[in-house]
Amino acid sequence: MTLANSLLLSSILFCIGIYGVLTRRQLIGMLLSIEIILNGANINFIAFAHFRAADPTAGAIFPIFVMAISAAEMALALAIIIAMHRQKNSKLDIQQLRRLNG
């Protein structure tokens, strides 16, 4: 596995995630696509830390922060999804998010 292969895999995951965010209308699919984007970024951080950094452990700190932010994002998003489902009992369409208050 070389740096070029790692960057290619990272960019493919990032593009798949962007495509998923732009084409999905349901919230669960959009959340999964955002997770794919963050995994592509993590692979990028780890690849550069492994192949280019003088101290490889320094590059492992950024993916840990990304995973922590991702976990907080998922907790908040799932709380919003549960609130939408309890109030409207719908199929969780992104267009119905603005009707959550009323």
Q: Is the CB of residue 3 less than 8 Å from the CB of residue 52?
A: yes
At 66, list the tokens.
């990304």
Per-residue pLDDT at 36? 94
* pLDDT, average across residues 5-28: 92
pTM recorded for the entire structure = 0.77
Indicate if the pLDDT at residue 16 is higher than 70.
yes
* pLDDT, average across residues 34-40: 92
Annotated domain spans of the chain = 3-99
Query: pLDDT digits over 65-94, tens only?
Result: 888 888 898 898 888 878 877 776 666 666
- Distance (Å) of CA 8 to CA 17, 38, 40, 64: 14, 15, 10, 22
At the top level of CATH, the class of 3-99 is: mainly alpha
Per-residue pLDDT at 91? 64
